[in-house]
A = this chain, B = another copy of it.
Amino acid sequence: MKKERNRLRSHCPVNFGLESFGDRWSLLILRDIIFRGKRTYGEFLKSEEGFATNILASRLEHLIDACILQREVHEDGRKDVYLLTEKGLDLIPLIFEIVLWSAKYDSKSEAKRIARLVELIRKDNRKISQKVMEKVRRGEAIVTEYLD
């Protein structure tokens, strides 16, 4: 039942990124972790974009295979905890560039609600990413802090 992995179409760096996390759902999982502090299957399932249960499961597995996420046991034994690895945390600058671009071009963007963060990204993405990586490592979400 395992899917074929490591069968990259190419080692072009753009393609490598796309095959690692470049489908419609994977980055939404990472967004939920980084911005909203989500950690469990059930929490991801509640996202407004509406994951199908099987798709969510397959994407979590894919991200674990790619060493972007790691799974741990929750204190409540029924739940699993999904955490970003260092490799996953290193995607924060990239996700922030997406936020910046969308903030510029989507007139209805909810990025307006995190205008302070967007401004920090524009000024120095690396610097704010570093701070956010530390926050996420500590298990904190970032949205609340930067709400205007």
Write the residues of chain A forming the contact surface with B, with a CB cutoff of 8 angstroms: 9-18, 20, 22-24, 27-28, 31, 35, 48-50, 87, 90-91, 93-95, 97-106, 108-111, 125
Contacts and interface: CB of A to CB of B under 8 A. Distances in A.
Q: Copies per complex? A: 2
A110 B17 contact: no
Determine the main DSSP class of A at the interface with B.
Answer: helix
B125 A105 contact: no
Contacts of A11: 106, 108-110
**Residue with the greatest number of chain B CB neighbours at <10 A, chosen from A35, A91, A106:** A106
A103 B87 CA distance: 12
Contacts of A18: 24, 27-28, 98
